[in-house]
Amino acid sequence: MKWFARLWKKVSEHKTAHGEPLYLYIQCEKCGEKLKVLVKKETDLERVYEEEKGGSAYRLIKEAMDSKCFSIITVRAEFDINKDIISRDISNGRFITEEEYLS
Ligand SMILES: [Zn+2]
């Protein structure tokens, strides 16, 4: 039944790569407001076809407005062909962990 185990692995990997929503936790640089931003991998990522040149396969540019001082926080992230983040960048804010967001 080895083939079955392999097949199952493939199916479950596919699921995590495309099915689960991705959350980014960010904090406003000015007022410290914490934000949770949902990234829908199916619709938010833009295909850029740069992976053959050593670049990214997908790109995300997401703007979030915090509800305290109304700064626009811009997140840019690069993704590989499996839609995993390979690099990310932020302006007007900083990335925080889920733990920091909840505390
Ligand atoms: Zn703010």
Cα 88 to ligand 1 centre (Å): 20
To the question of pTM greater than 0.85 for the whole model, the response is: no
Q: Is residue 75 part of a domain?
A: yes
pLDDT single digits (tens) 26-64: 999 999 999 999 999 999 999 999 999 999 999 999 999
Domain that residue 31 falls in = 21-102
In a domain, 94, yes or no: yes
3-state secondary structure of 95: strand
Ligand 1 ion: Cβ-proximal residues, 5 Å cutoff:
28, 30-31, 33, 66, 68-69, 71
**Vertex 84: Cα angle to 80 and 85 (nearest 5):** 85
Task: Give residue 42 CA to ligand 1 midpoint distance, Å.
Answer: 29
Phi, psi dihedral angles at 85 (to 5 degrees): -65, 130
Tell me whether residue 16 is in a domain: no
Please tell me the distance between residue 77's alpha carbon and the centre of ligand 1 in angstroms.
21
Domain count within the chain: 1
Q: Decide if 42 is inside a domain.
A: yes
Picking from 75, 78, 67, 65, the residue whose alpha carbon sits closest to that of residue 95 is: 75
Residue 11, domain member (yes or no): no
pLDDT, tens only, 2-21: 555 555 555 544 444 556 78
Q: Which amino acid is at 81?
A: I
